[in-house]
Structure formats: C-alpha cells, structure tokens
C-alpha cells in the first residue's frame, strides 16, 4: 500500500490476523519493523526536501500512528548511519591537503548530528533524521491498552546483500562499474547482520516490558556494522572481481573530473526543477535525467569520497551494560562471497532495484556532457537568463 496514505496504512495494520492462540492465552506481542524509505541521496537543495519527506517523514508518522492504533508494543525503525555524516568542502585551495571531514569516526553520540541543513550530506539524511526523531519521541507513548516502546537502528554506510541492494549486488548487475574511490575506507553492513541487529533491539525492548532489570534503552539509536576491520572499496572490488572471474570490473576515473561533471549535472537538474516550478515553457523542452546518471551529483561525493568508520561498540555491549548484545555473524568479505553466490542463482530478483543504483555509463557520459552544454546555451539564449542566476 501507499505508505504516505494514512488511511491505507491504517487499513493495512488493522487487517485481521489469523488466530494462532487459544482464547485462554494472552495476546502475543505485536512488533513493527519500519524499513520503508525513499533513497534520493543525490538531492541536497532545501527546496527538494519534500521529494524525500513525503515517504521518509510522513510515511513514518503514519506507521507510528497505525502501530498505536492496533496496540503494538514494539516499533523498530531502520534509520541510517548517514544521518551523522558531515558534508565536506571537496574543492581545496592549493595549500590544503585534504577536506576538513575527510576521516569521520561515527558513533551513537547525538551531539555529532549536524544542526544545519547544509551540513547534512543530502536531503535523504535530513529526512531520515527527522523520521528517527519522531520514532524516538514515540517511545513510552500510549498504544492501545498498553505502551509502545521504540528504537532505531543506524546501519553503517551501505547495506548490501542478495535480492537487490544499491551497493554490492548493484555492482554485479551492472558488471562495468567506473570508480574513483578505490582507496576509501568505509564500514559496510551485510543485510543478515542488519536484520539481526533489529531483532536484538526488539528482544531487549520486550524484555524491558516484562520487567527486566537491564538498563532502559528505549527511544535510542544504535550504529551497527559488519564485524572486523572496515575494508577499502578497493578490497571490495578485488573480491568481487575474483569471485566473478573478472566478469564484474571497476575501471578507474579521475575523481576531480567526475566531481566537476557532478556539479554540471546538478546545475542542469536544479535548473530544470526551478524553471518548471516557475512555469517557463522552455523547461518542457529539457528532458529529465533518467537512469542511474541522476545519481552523479555532488551529494554522492559527500558520502563516498570520505573515510567513514562506524563505531558500533555500544550495540555490541551485553544487555546488562546497556547494549543490544549484537554480534554480526558475517565479515564484509565473507558476506561478499554469499552475495555473489546467491546472485548467480537468483539474479532476476535484483535487476529492478540495482539497475538504478550507483553510476554506470560509457558513451552516455560524453552525450550527457554535450547535453548539459546545449541546454545551458538554449536557456541562456531563449530567456536571457543564465542558469546560475536562476539557482541563486
């Protein structure tokens, strides 16, 4: 159903459950795992926030309301570790060696969350944090005849696994994956490890509702990542290339050139948006950026060309010390082996979602560069307005 439609969500939650217990038995706990989101990580301009907020914020509020309406006792929300990533200025002066936030060690401390919109890496992170706040504020609120306990899981940057992810299996679907981040170190999390973390949090909250003496961790957020040292993207690329016998490959490109192109694509993307909003007829002549090329905007660089280490030490603490008792079962490299193996057997399931992830282009890159220049010229000549002035 449409998660932004409050009535549809309510109807879905109130659909009758099959009877599995006798009338003498108490009603079982009802847990809600809210994982739905729209991942428009490529947008960062404040005017585009509604594109993400409708699903990520309004949809989450609808889920919270409907969970209460049926007397749910536990609500676990899939937030994102990216809510704490700080946007960095990537264009450097000649005397500068690296961006200010080139290395970020991200823990559960809410004080490291950006305070201003322009400090978040994209609108996706902005709206995921807004949704997280709504879930955390709903902890200990009335739910039916009982109380709702809530919590948030912040997966380390990049949930991957078979079935159609936007990261590692997307590499397998595209096969040719231009890259400029081989030396970047980042934490990954395999989907089974991520699911386990959700189940651990659910169990801790149920235990608290049953009178456990463990510290109350309701209404909190926990980072989670794969066990072991975080790999470089080059490590991931090498593993995938070996496991696919070279069928999946990763040609290298210049990060500076790609960042410049990303700004041009964003310029076109925003120009079209503002011209359409203003009602200019020429905007209808500007084709939308389709496929995965729309991902190639500066926000992609804000999350991919910086070293991101996610500290999940608090989630790994035992329950009696205020942790989730989370222990990931698969290292990133072990999980890559599972992902490749399962992709070979069930690749059709992953085609749809993975094809729109990441960036894959060949001759389209040249056509895109020429298209941006032609549209820029057409707008300037037709309206007498430079697109940059429109953005300002």
Helix (H, G, I), strand (E, B) or coil at 99: coil
Q: What are phi and psi of 308, to 5 degrees?
A: -120, 110
Q: Would the pTM of this model clear 0.85, i.e. be above it?
A: yes
Write the CA distances from 281 to 47, 289, 382, integer angstroms. Answer: 21, 18, 10
C-beta of residue 56 within 8 angstroms of C-beta of residue 130: yes
* Per-residue model confidence (pLDDT) at position 67: 97
Report which DSSP code applies to 316: T
* Per-residue model confidence (pLDDT) at position 84: 97
First-to-last alpha carbon distance for the chain, in angstroms, is 39
* Per-residue model confidence (pLDDT) at position 290: 87
Q: CA-to-CA distance for 198 and 30, rounded, in angstroms?
A: 14
Interval 5-57: pLDDT, tens: 999 999 999 998 777 667 777 667 899 999 999 999 999 999 999 999 999 99
Q: Detail the DSSP E strand segments found in the chain.
A: 31-34, 74-78, 103-106, 141-143, 146-155, 159-160, 189-190, 221-224, 307-310
Across the strands, what pairs with 176?
249
Long-range contacts of range 157-160, CB-CB < 8 Å, 24 or more positions apart? 157/81, 157/82, 157/85, 157/186, 157/187, 157/188, 157/303, 157/308, 157/310, 158/186, 158/187, 158/188, 158/189, 159/189, 159/190, 159/191, 159/194, 160/188, 160/189, 160/190, 160/191, 160/335, 160/339
* Per-residue model confidence (pLDDT) at position 355: 58
* Per-residue model confidence (pLDDT) at position 347: 54
**Alpha carbon 287 to its chain's center:** 27
Low-confidence ranges of the chain (pLDDT < 50): 362-369, 392
What is the rounded (10 degree) CA torsion for 169, 352, 173, 185?
Answer: -40
* Per-residue model confidence (pLDDT) at position 164: 81
DSSP string over 241-285: HHHTTTSSB--B--HHHHHHHHHHHHHHHHHHHHHHHHT-GGGGG
* Per-residue model confidence (pLDDT) at position 29: 84
Structure tokens of 237? 């690329």
Domain 6-391 class in CATH: alpha beta
* Per-residue model confidence (pLDDT) at position 360: 63
For the beta carbon of residue 149, count every other beta carbon within 10 angstroms.
Answer: 28
Q: CA-to-CA distance for 128 and 121, rounded, in angstroms?
A: 12
């Amino acid at each position: 159903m449409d998660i932004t439609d409050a009535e549809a969500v309510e109807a879905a939650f109130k659909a009758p459950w099959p009877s599995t217990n006798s009338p003498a038995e108490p009603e079982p706990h009802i847990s809600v795992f809210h994982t739905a989101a729209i991942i428009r990580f490529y947008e960062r301009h404040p005017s585009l926030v509604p594109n993400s907020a409708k699903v990520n914020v309004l949809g989450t509020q609808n889920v919270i309301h409907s969970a209460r309406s049926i007397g749910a006792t536990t609500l676990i929300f899939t937030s994102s570790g990216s809510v704490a990533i700080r946007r960095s200025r990537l264009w450097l002066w000649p005397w500068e060696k690296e961006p200010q936030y080139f290395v970020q060690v991200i823990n559960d401390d809410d004080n490291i969350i950006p305070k201003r919109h322009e400090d978040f890496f994209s609108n996706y992170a902005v709206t995921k944090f807004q949704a997280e706040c709504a879930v955390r504020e709903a902890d200990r609120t009335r739910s039916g005849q009982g109380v709702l306990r809530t919590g948030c899981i912040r997966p380390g940057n990049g949930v991957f696994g078979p079935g159609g992810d936007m990261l590692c299996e997307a590499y397998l679907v595209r096969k040719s994956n231009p890259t400029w981040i081989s030396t970047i170190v980042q934490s990954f999390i395999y989907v089974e490890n991520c699911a386990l973390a959700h189940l651990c949090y659910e169990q801790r909250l149920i235990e608290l509702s049953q009178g456990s003496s463990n510290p109350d961790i309701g209404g909190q957020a926990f980072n989670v990542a794969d066990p072991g040292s975080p790999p470089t993207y080059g490590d991931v690329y090498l593993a995938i290339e070996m496991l696919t016998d070279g069928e999946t490959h990763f040609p290298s490109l210049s990060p500076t050139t790609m960042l410049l192109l990303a700004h041009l694509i964003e310029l076109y993307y925003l120009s079209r948006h503002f011209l359409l909003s203003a009602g200019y007829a020429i905007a209808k002549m500007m084709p939308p950026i389709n496929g995965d090329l729309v991902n190639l905007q500066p926000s992609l660089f804000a999350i991919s060309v910086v070293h991101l280490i996610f500290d999940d030490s608090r989630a790994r603490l035992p329950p009696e010390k205020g942790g989730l008792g989370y222990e990931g079962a698969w290292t990133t490299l072990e999980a890559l082996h599972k992902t490749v193996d399962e992709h070979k057997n069930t690749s059709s399931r992953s085609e749809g979602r993975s094809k729109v992830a990441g960036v894959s282009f060949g001759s389209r890159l040249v056509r895109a560069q020429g298209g941006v220049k032609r549209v820029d010229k057409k707008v300037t000549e037709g309206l007498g307005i430079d697109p940059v002035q429109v953005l300002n």
